[in-house]
Amino acid sequence: MCGLNRKDLLVAVIRAGGADLIGTQELFHLQGAYIAENAKEYKWFGVSRRGNREDEYSAIFYKPSRLKLLESGNFWLSETPDKPGSISWACRCRAW
């Protein structure tokens, strides 16, 4: 795979692996969109830790030819789990 840049190598590895379901961590929207555009057999969903497209995602990619998305949702590990970007319990990592 000489000559491929890192993002193309990632797409090649994803496609070669052929997984039906892929979970990501610390993915940015731009990266997810690139994967979806170049590995069209996958769809994806997720929101960033702020609840928008401006921060890191824990996104899910899946093959709709093999899996059917019945439901999706998000929650934040905090005292207000429905509030995007919320944190609690003296967490040292701030979302912004």
Residue among 71, 80, 70, 77 at smallest CA distance from 93: 77
Distance CA 72, CA 68 (A): 11
Burial of 64 by CB count in 10 Å (0-12 exposed, 13-18 middle, 19+ buried)? exposed
- Specify the CATH number for the domain of residue 74: 3.60.10.10
Query: How many domains, the chain?
Result: 1
What pLDDT does residue 4 have?
64
Dump pLDDT digits (tens) for 38-94. Answer: 999 999 999 888 888 888 988 999 999 999 999 998 888 889 989 888 888 877 665
What pLDDT does residue 2 have?
56
Distance CA 29, CA 48 (A): 8
What pLDDT does residue 86 have?
83
64, 24 Cβ separation under 8 angstroms: no
Distance CA 95, CA 87 (A): 8
What pLDDT does residue 88 have?
83
Residues of the domain holding 90: 1-96
